[in-house]
Amino acid sequence: MRQVGIVGVGHTRFGKWSGGTFMDMLCAAAVEALDDAGVKLREGHGIDQVFVASMGSGMVNRQSGVASALVDSLNLRPAMAETIENGPASGASAVKLGYMAIASGLCDAVLVVGGEMMRVISGWEGTDFVATMLHTEGEYNYGLTLPAFAGMFTRLCMEKYGVTEKDLSIVSVKNHENAMHNPVAHIRLVPSLYAIAEDEDANVINPYVADPLRMYHVCPVSDGAAAVLLCAMDVKDRFLKKPVKIAGIGQATDTHAVAEREIPTDLLAVRVAAERAYKMAGVTAKDIDVAELHDAFQILEIVESEEVGFFPRGEGHLAARLGDTKIGGRIPINTSGGLKAKGHPLGATGVSQIVELVRQLRGEAEGRQVQGAKVGLAVNFGGFGNNVVATILTNQEED
Amino acid sequence: METKMFAYKCDNCGELHHPKHYVCRKCGCRDFVEVPLEGEVILLTYTKVYNLPEGYMKPFMAFGIVRFENGLTVSGQIECEELHIGMKLRTTVGVIKEGVGKDYYGFIFKGI
């Protein structure tokens, strides 16, 4: 099997896209990644395949066949093109498919772009759209939403492990602090831990969304796009940048209806996806220097940090209290600001996580750099954990 | 109007499922018989949601995951003022969503 690396990254500022159409947004990220890799956009560009990750382009933006449109817009014809939908894990799924296309020998270079433009619809419509990934008869028809499941999951973790609302706020503040050093992050402010967790007016400053989850424990609704250019390691000399190697990929699924899970505080698919990625990469949790975990809700960063093996079960919140997950701590998590502060344009998120790891492993994460980072882990979480993709990157080359 | 909700019991091994699956998770059988889901349940976890999706004109709604006496766990709406993990609720079936030309029925768990 051929080795695969990443030679180009691009990323729009997350938040409210004001640079034109949905397609303009995808193009902006794509062109940045191609420029980063030194690809000349003319005949003989060498891009064999384009994957576009988007959960809602058809429902939200009334646009289907997005990958075909992007290929034409960038004049990358006759490259192959597919649009990938796997809920909020669409981005990492598209990167995985890009890896497979190259590893199999079908392609030498694959452009992967993830994007979502959600700010064109109301909050009500957006909440409804995201909830369509839940089980239709057993969940969605009840009015259940992703925040609802996160609220119920958080309550169980509080009961079982002693997680507190303040712990969720500690994780949130840490991610907001990191985002201040990320120029593409959506939210550029750092809330006061006292104000959102302890002040007598905290109920007003930080109101409940799905109790016990409050506003600062939940990611914002964002527009945005991110792109990566993958290539076979045996053709890396065609590109400007030294490749960051994709060392391992793991993916796993779990029950669609959350209530059917044997242990409701388990994120089984996270654990299995990470185990598979570690095995493929030949590393363990101890080898990871930096991680991007899917913190759509702050409880997820805590529990995922346990499921991927950074901390024992039930101790993720204790590690966050000690500052172990800060930059400079034992294992820095969400140096980009995470979904909480960098933002969460669904289809873009998995690609964006990979972009952050590439920046870290290249030593380009100015202001938030993890010194000497060699191996990074990304976890992209679909549904309420029913489809999870883990990806491991390294800047260490081997023969 | 629907007044009952069902579990789906595997015709071969007896494994209970809810929601419906096409294939039994234990033995792979594809035939099921409907078994009414009713009676008292135990509340396993819950939340009150304040940003409801399109179509729900209420300031908030409560949801929970409960366990039936037969061991099945399901999600549903809750109508009860005071909630705590481990409390007993009673099962009712009612309109959980008003659709255009069709209402959707499901579990609404209420205080005893």
Mean pLDDT of A221-248: 97
CA distance B20 to chain A (A): 9
**CATH code of residue A46:** 3.40.47.10
Overall domain count for chain A:
1
**CATH code of residue B53:** 2.40.50
Q: Is A142 on the interface with B (CB under 8 A)?
A: yes
CB atoms within 10 A of CB A230: 29
CB atoms within 10 A of CB A398: 9
Nearest to B53 among A124, A155, A211 (CB): A124
Percent helix, strand and coil across chain B, each rounded to 5?
A: 0, 50, 50
pLDDT score of A399 more than 60 = no
Residues A319, A325, A327, A332, Cα dihedral to 10°: 140
Q: Which domain holds residue A52?
A: 4-121+221-238
Q: Which of A157, A147, A176 is nearest to A306 (CA)?
A: A157
Do B49 and B8 fall within a single domain?
Answer: no
CB atoms within 10 A of CB A296: 22
Overall domain count for chain B:
2
pLDDT score of B1 more than 80 = no
pLDDT digits (tens, 9 = 90+) for A130-150: 999 999 999 999 999 999 999
Which pTM value belongs to this model? 0.97
Do B70 and B59 fall within a single domain?
Answer: yes
pLDDT (0 to 100) of residue A235: 97
CB atoms within 10 A of CB A19: 12
pLDDT score of A6 more than 90 = yes
Residues of A in contact with B19 (CB under 8 A): 135, 137-138, 257
CA distance A144 to chain B (A): 7
Mean pLDDT computed over every residue of chain A: 97
Nearest to A123 among B19, B51, B106 (CB): B51
Contact A210 B51 (CB under 8 A): yes
For residue A331, being part of any structural domain is answered with no
Going by the DSSP 8-state scheme, the letter that residue A64 receives in this structure is -
Q: Which domain holds residue B81?
A: 38-112
For residue A113, being part of any structural domain is answered with yes
Reduce the DSSP state of residue B43 to 3 states and report it: strand
Do B19 and B44 fall within a single domain?
Answer: no
Nearest to B63 among A144, A209, A264 (CB): A144
What is the residue type of A145? T
For residue A17, being part of any structural domain is answered with yes
* DSSP notation for A241-307: SPPEEEEEEEEEE--SSGGG-SSTT--HHHHHHHHHHHHHHT--GGG--EEE---SBHHHHHHHHHH
Q: With beta carbons less than 8 A apart as the criterion, state whether A334 and A310 touch.
A: no
**Predicted confidence band of residue A124 (pLDDT cuts 50, 70, 90):** confident
